[in-house]
Amino acid sequence: MTQQHQDERIRIREAMDRLLTGQATSSDGSFTVVALAAEAGVHRMALMKRHADLKNEFYERVRTGTAQVPESEKRLRETVTRLKKTVRNQKTEIEELRQQVIRLALAAAVLTQGKNVPSEPVSLPDNVVPFRLPLS
């Protein structure tokens, strides 16, 4: 491990402690990776890639030490809830469409069979076009 790498890890651990005790100096104090990176003075991607173990440790400490859920987990839970609602709505809509298809198929069958066709022509309004019965 290089000296720069070790220095980054030390700064990240110190930043964790400051955030968890509510003594943020360089960030908004939220329990996010962005705030942790800003507080430690490291690039966010360095924290995500080179120090992923420290990122995971931070989130674990947030969960256990503050009894709070990290912001990223909150957003994921909200997204899951929203998607479940969308799926539920789509299932309902699909079932309604299936019922409509059945009703339309039955109506088409009645119209094509020509049953109960009156023997005398029925007067229709001007905006109605009668179906022609298929030739048998």
Are 15 and 36 a contacting pair, CB within 8 Å?
A: yes
For residues 21, 5, 33, 39, the Cα torsion angle rounded to the nearest 10 degrees is: 50
Say yes or no to pLDDT of 59 above 90: no
User: For residue 87, what pLDDT band results from cuts at 50, 70 and 90?
Assistant: very high
User: For residue 134, what pLDDT band results from cuts at 50, 70 and 90?
Assistant: low
Q: Report the chain's C-alpha Rg in angstroms.
A: 33
pLDDT recorded at residue 19: 86
Are 62 and 74 a contacting pair, CB within 8 Å?
A: no
Poorest-pLDDT segment among 31-40, 50-59, 107-116: 107-116
**Number of Cβ atoms within 10 Å of the Cβ of 42:** 20
Model pTM above 0.85: no
Q: Is 34 exposed, middle or buried (0-12, 13-18, 19+ CB in 10 A)?
A: middle
pLDDT recorded at residue 102: 92
